[in-house]
Chain A
Amino acid sequence: MMFLQPFILWGLPLALLPIAIHLVNRMRHQKVAWAASRFLAAAAHSSTRWARLRQLLILVCRVLLLAFLITALAQPLAVGGWGQFLSGPPGTVILLLDRSCSMQMSAASDGITKNESALKLLRGKIAEVAKHSFVVCIDSATQHPRPLLDPDLLLQNSYAGPTETSADIPALFQQAFQYLLSQGRDDAVEMWLVSDLRAADWQPQSSRWKAVLQQFEALPQEVSVRLFAYPSFEQTNASVQIKEIVNFRVEKQTITELIIAVKRPGAGPITMPLTISSNGREEHLQLELDTREKIVHHQLKLNKNEDLVLGKVAIPVDSQVSDNFAYFGYDRRVPRHTVVVAESAEVAKILELAAVPDAEDISLESCERLSALQMLSSDLSTTSLVVWQGEKATPAVEEKLRDFVAGGGVVLLLPPSLPAASFSILGVELHSLQQSQNDRSAVISEWDREQGPLADTVAGEIMPVDSLHMFRYFKAEGNATVLASTSTGASFLLAKKSGLGSIYSCATLPLQEWSTLADGLILVPLMQRLATEGCTRLSRITSDVCASRERRFTAIEMGPANGRDGTRAGIFRDAGRFYVLNRSPQEDAVDVLDDSEVQNLLRPLPMHSVESAKLEQDKTIAAASSMFIWLAIVSAILEATLASDLRKRQEKIVR
């Protein structure tokens, strides 16, 4: 059995106090001159076995009462439920550490973060449990099992400290399972899970839970969970996030605009300072906030020769420091070049216009029309987007396009304009040409508004996808994701990831007899977004969310010294590229699971205790302590009953 306050067990000999008192009393007996000795002798002789037994039981009850109370005060850890706590400590303890960004929240009263509080709490507990069990730590950032031989390492090592990453709790459990499988042991296992129970990290709807819990059930050893929960949320927390950086030309001037989202607590108008640092310069703004969230468009003041922008936005520090700043980076010199290969000249023209809507802005955007043969021999290394319409693709062309996509480029496939039974390229097949009947065109009813080229704008404006009418369209098939479809289930746009890039296929053409795509409402933003996606690989800057990396960054431009492993927000450099890392947007979602939801989610695994470690106090609820307290109460009742019964008999006789 393990104990949280083992030093209290040194008091267990106190349980023998009743016996000691009894023996001392016997030794310190009083001498009484007595006349009625014949009754004494007769009583002593005939004193029933039950009376002696009762006295012994009373003594035993008193000893047990003290022993149970002392044991309860020592806070024993119940292993795997009531029936198993007597079976001894587990062979292995796996510490699953949620190091997500939200664990950096601190209490207003003492400023200690959840992460620090958890590590402090665990240090003592692990020191005790390590005497009997093998302790392994798996953190949410690196997902790498590490034996924990010295509990002090928990406070010192970077693999337990704060990060700006998100936690994938189902994956953490999966890692734990993989570790147990690799060890091949069959002794009892206890998993200590430290988390703030954010729903975004726990993903309670994920189908992975069922699979991973079934895996645990299939293990030969008993596995149980002990949860250290930090679900509380400070209502005073404000956050800032970079939504997007856009670059555009206004009157021959290139403008780089930051789109910043600021969230604030409470209601009512407030003023919040915002600091924007870029390329060593600082700008201070005063934001007037009268809603919970505000989108700020800020144009950066940059010099003409500044083509690389690296910076940070910050709001005043509050209970969670990690969401009070965000980094940004933008490469203004990234060309956005589109290659159009089309069998229809008319389609090619429309596509060219959609690719470069501003003919004057050729420094940033360009488009060229090539034949299939020309494309085969051209250098696509600086091309963002290849639009392939209708042309038959030779194996060589397919291979070139495949390499282009694998390297991060984007390909948009459009069907042939001439009658054809089908059109197949890069694993996408367009077949069975559909023709609308009686002027009833196909209208898009569903599309992905969250991500992809048809997603809502940063400002929340909805793309007018439902305004598109298709008169002719192919049925599109392939191992791809449908991004937009009609009410009859016909696909308009499919997407498929391949390597670092993507392949999109459109079921219709921007021709009058095919669809209203040529009006540009959808085609232009679609082309722009696909080109932007394709030119990401050409940028000197990669923006991403914080996550552990195999290879460390070589240098830190902005950010904490321990961020080179990718788990901290900041701007880092590696092999000539800049990496701008920020916390994941899902870390701003504050929904938490309650204890019952967690227990239901982990149901097959016995959860013998949940420690609700609030920010204000470290309150431990140990099921085993309760059991010992109940045992002590039972002992006390039994002792009182036996002693009372004895007294009643004696009083009855006296009366």
Chain B
Amino acid sequence: MIFAGGKDKRQHVLLDSQVISRLSRLSVCARKPLEGNFSGRHKSPHRGASVEFAQYRKYTPGEDIRSLDWRVYGRTDRFYVKEFEADTNLRAYLVLDCSNSMAFAGRHGSKFGLAQQLSAMLSYMLISQGDAVGLHCFNENVLKHIPPRTNPKHLHALLTTLEDLHPAGTTDLKTVLHELAENIGRRALVIVISDFFTDVTALLDCFQHLLHRRHDLAVLHVMDEAELQFDFSRPVRFIDLEDGHGTLTDPSIIKSQYLRLMHEFLESLRIGCLECGADYYLATPDAGCEAILSNFLLGRMQKK
């Protein structure tokens, strides 16, 4: 089934109904207490009126006596108030790298295509479960910023924006993420989808900034199999997607070194994310959107 929405009934090709139906039992969870506008399924940092008992607190004169726990009074002759967890809805930001490096296409499609699909699916799932989702697209500048909303019409806007996006320009992850960390007011789930071809130390610094602001950070590292395997038999002229520079080289000579550097990059990013408390997931187009999402959603549910 192809989703269609909006007044123009535009067909949204990024959503796969079969995948959605297979993933319907899973939900996007927050690992930390977040601050939403409405009640929802996610934990709030504040106390509220939910069914989940949080703690006992001494009664302060002047408080509503309806919250007194009379059973405890019967046992202890003291007045205690029962506090319950406050549930709120999730506010998620999808931070999408739209630089030219994301345009790299392997056998199973381009990285940007995968990123678009993941963003679209996550948008749908979040909105379906009553959460708010916004979109933040960037390259060396911020291309598009859509604040989080929950209504279905908003989903259409997100999907339309995603579909109309094309990778271009270079990357300035550092500046964008720092700005985002400053600009997102309340605690939110930030899902960054990028290939992260930048300095890892500076990147981790950005992640620390976001985490310091008490956001829940998830990193979807999009890489193509070709970039990971570097399986070339003949000499190749590599044309850089961002600056157009060409490098003629014999892959067999540099392969060992390249793979070592790639491995170091992936490990340093993964371990850096683990250490600072961000969720890290490697996403490759050959794995397929469903498997990546399934892995992502289940992983977050287990870590909750």
Interface, chain A (partner B; CB < 8 A): 25-26, 28-44, 46-48, 51-52, 55, 646, 649-650, 653-654
Contact = CB atoms under 8 A, between A and B. Distances in A.
Given A43-B258, A43-B260, 17 more contacts: A25-B234, A30-B234, A30-B237, A33-B103, A34-B238, A35-B102, A35-B241, A36-B101, A36-B227, A40-B254, A40-B258, A42-B257, A43-B255, A51-B254, A52-B253, A646-B255, A654-B259
A25 B235 CA distance: 6
Contacts of B104: 33-36
Given A37-B245, A37-B247, A653 B238 contact: no
Contacts of B238: 32-34, 37, 40
A26 B256 contact: no
A95 B111 CA distance: 78
B229 interface: yes
A425 to B, nearest CB: 100
Given A649-B256, A653-B256, A654-B229, A43 B237 contact: no
What are the nearest 4 A-B pairs in CB distance? A43-B258, A653-B259, A35-B101, A43-B257
B228 interface: yes
Contacts of A26: 235, 248, 250
Contacts of A646: 252, 255-256
Contact of B261 (A32, A39, A55): A39
A36 B256 CA distance: 15
Contact of B197 (A25, A36, A46): A36
B239 interface: yes
Given A29-B248, A650-B259, A38 B197 contact: yes
B240 A43 contact: no
A51 B239 contact: no
B interface, size bucket: 35 or more
Nearest to B100: A35
Nearest to B255: A650
Contacts, number: 114
Given A32-B238, A44-B254, A653 B260 contact: yes
B83 interface: no
B263 interface: yes
Nearest to A643: B252
A49 to B, nearest CB: 11
B258 A33 contact: no
B200 to A, nearest CB: 11
A47 B263 contact: no
Contact of B263 (A35, A42, A44, A653): A653
Contact of A34 (B228, B241, B254, B257): B241
A43 B254 contact: yes
A653 B263 CA distance: 7
Contacts of B18: none
Contact of A29 (B195, B237, B255, B263): B237
A39 B252 CA distance: 15
A46 B101 CA distance: 23
Given A32-B238, A44-B249, A39 B265 contact: yes
Contacts of A44: 247, 249, 254, 257
A307 to B, nearest CB: 97
A28 B247 CA distance: 14
Contacts of A41: 247
Contacts of B195: 35-36
A32 B102 contact: no
Nearest to A34: B238
Nearest to A58: B252
Nearest to B240: A37
Contacts of B227: 34-36
Contacts of A43: 254-255, 257-258, 260-261
B29 to A, nearest CB: 31
Nearest to A28: B234
Contacts of A31: 236-237, 239, 246
Nearest to B247: A40
Nearest to A42: B261
A34 B197 CA distance: 12
B252 A35 contact: no
Contacts of B261: 39, 42-43, 46
A43 B255 CA distance: 8
A46 B249 CA distance: 13
Q: Which of B102, B235, B242 has the most CB of A within 10 A?
A: B235
Nearest to B228: A654
B23 interface: no
Contacts of B101: 35-36
B262 to A, nearest CB: 6
Nearest to B99: A35
Contacts of A33: 103-105, 238-239, 241
Contacts of B102: 35
A40 B262 CA distance: 10
A36 B81 CA distance: 59
Nearest to A651: B259
B234 A29 contact: yes
Interface in B163-192: none
A42 B230 CA distance: 14
B253 A51 contact: yes
Interface in B190-223: 195, 197
Nearest to B238: A34
A34 B238 CA distance: 6
A530 to B, nearest CB: 95
A40 B256 contact: no
25 contacts: A29-B235, A31-B246, A32-B236, A32-B238, A33-B105, A34-B238, A34-B239, A34-B240, A35-B100, A35-B195, A35-B197, A35-B240, A35-B242, A36-B104, A37-B240, A37-B241, A37-B243, A38-B197, A40-B238, A40-B258, A46-B257, A46-B261, A47-B257, A51-B257, A646-B256
B97 to A, nearest CB: 11
A32 B254 CA distance: 16
A27 to B, nearest CB: 8
Contacts of A47: 253-254, 256-257
A312 to B, nearest CB: 79
Q: Which of A25, A26, A48, A653 has the most CB of B within 10 A?
A: A653
Nearest to B245: A37
A30 B262 CA distance: 22
Given A36-B227, A40-B254, A44-B254, A30 B236 contact: yes
Contacts of B254: 40, 43-44, 47, 51
A192 B252 CA distance: 52
Given A26-B235, A35-B101, A35-B241, A650 B256 contact: yes
A502 B261 CA distance: 103
Contacts of A37: 238, 240-243, 245, 247
